[in-house]
Chains A and B, each alone.
Chain A
Amino acid sequence: MSDETKTGLNGFLDSQMTRRQFLKISGKSIAGLTVSATMLSLFGCTQEQVDSEQVVTWAMPQGLLVVNAAKCTGCKRCEINCSLFNDQECSSYISRVKISRNLHIHGKDGLLMGNFTYYPDTCRQCEIPACGEACPEKAILADDKGIKRVDNDKCIGCGACVEACPWHMPTINPETRKSSKCIACGACVLGCPTAALSIIPWDAVTAAAQEIVA
Chain B
Amino acid sequence: MLFGRKKPGFIVEEEETTGDLLEYMESLPEVEDSDFEGLVPPEAAAEDEVTEAQLLASYIRQRTQGIQLTSHSQLLEEVAHFEDLKKEWGNDDSCQDIVVIKGNKDSYYYSNLHMSDNYAMIASLVEEKDLPKTIAAMVRFNGKTYPAPTPYAYFERSPYLAARAQIERAAAVLKSKEEYQDIQPFKNNLGEAFFFSTQHMSYQYAKALADVDEYTD
Residue B190 CB within 8 A of the other chain: no
CB-CB < 8 A to A35: which residues of B?
A: 21
Residue B10 CB within 8 A of the other chain: yes
Question: A167 contacts B36, CB within 8 Å?
Answer: no
Report the contact-size class of chain A (Cβ under 8 Å from the partner): 35 or more
Question: B23 contacts A146, CB within 8 Å?
Answer: no
Q: A11-B26, A20-B33 are in contact. Are A167 and B6 (CB under 8 A)?
A: yes
- Inter-chain CA distance A29–B15, complex, in Å, is 11
Residue ID in chain B nearest A24 by CB atoms: B28
Stretch at the interface among B38-46, B132-140, B170-178, B199-207: B38-46
The interface residues of chain B, by DSSP majority, are classed as: loop
Q: A127-B32, A166-B6 are in contact. Are A144 and B38 (CB under 8 A)?
A: yes
Contact of A39 among B21, B23, B33 (CB under 8 A): B21
CB-CB < 8 A to A53: which residues of B?
A: 1-3
Question: A166 contacts B41, CB within 8 Å?
Answer: no
Question: A145 contacts B1, CB within 8 Å?
Answer: no
Residue A114 CB within 8 A of the other chain: no
**Whole-angstrom distance between the Cβ of A45 and the nearest chain B Cβ:** 12
Question: B38 contacts A146, CB within 8 Å?
Answer: yes
Within 8 A of B (CB), among A26-68: 27-36, 39, 53-54, 56, 61, 67
Residue ID in chain B nearest A130 by CB atoms: B10
Question: A146 contacts B36, CB within 8 Å?
Answer: yes
Residue B87 CB within 8 A of the other chain: no
**Whole-angstrom distance between the Cβ of A131 and the nearest chain B Cβ:** 13
Q: A14-B41, A16-B36, A69-B2 are in contact. Are A23 and B31 (CB under 8 A)?
A: yes
Within 8 A of A (CB), among B147-191: none
Residue B84 CB within 8 A of the other chain: no
**Whole-angstrom distance between the Cβ of A173 and the nearest chain B Cβ:** 22
- Inter-chain CA distance A192–B34, complex, in Å, is 31
CB-CB < 8 A to A23: which residues of B?
A: 31, 33
Which of A8, A24, A39, A107 has the most chain B CB within a 10 Å cutoff? Answer: A24
Question: A11 contacts B20, CB within 8 Å?
Answer: no
The interface residues of chain A, by DSSP majority, are classed as: loop
Residue A19 CB within 8 A of the other chain: yes
Which of B7, B21, B29 has the most chain A CB within a 10 Å cutoff? Answer: B21
Question: A145 contacts B31, CB within 8 Å?
Answer: no
Within 8 A of B (CB), among A183-214: 203, 209, 212
Residue ID in chain A nearest B6 by CB atoms: A166
- Inter-chain CA distance A25–B25, complex, in Å, is 7
Residue A15 CB within 8 A of the other chain: yes
CB-CB < 8 A to A168: which residues of B?
A: 6
CB-CB < 8 A to A8: which residues of B?
A: 23, 26
Question: A28 contacts B14, CB within 8 Å?
Answer: yes
Question: B38 contacts A33, CB within 8 Å?
Answer: no
CB-CB < 8 A to A2: which residues of B?
A: 20
CB-CB < 8 A to A25: which residues of B?
A: 24-25, 28
Question: B22 contacts A16, CB within 8 Å?
Answer: no
CB-CB < 8 A to A20: which residues of B?
A: 30-31, 33, 36
Contact of B18 among A12, A33, A209 (CB under 8 A): A33
CB-CB < 8 A to A22: which residues of B?
A: 25
Residue ID in chain A nearest B9 by CB atoms: A166
Residue ID in chain B nearest A67 by CB atoms: B3
Contact of A19 among B7, B11, B26, B33 (CB under 8 A): B33
Question: A54 contacts B2, CB within 8 Å?
Answer: yes
Q: A32-B17, A166-B10 are in contact. Are A145 and B3 (CB under 8 A)?
A: no
Residue A9 CB within 8 A of the other chain: yes
- Residues of chain A touching chain B, judged by Cβ–Cβ distance below 8 Å, are 2, 8-12, 14-16, 19-25, 27-36, 39, 53-54, 56, 61, 67, 69, 107, 119, 121, 127, 130, 142, 144-147, 166-168, 203, 209, 212
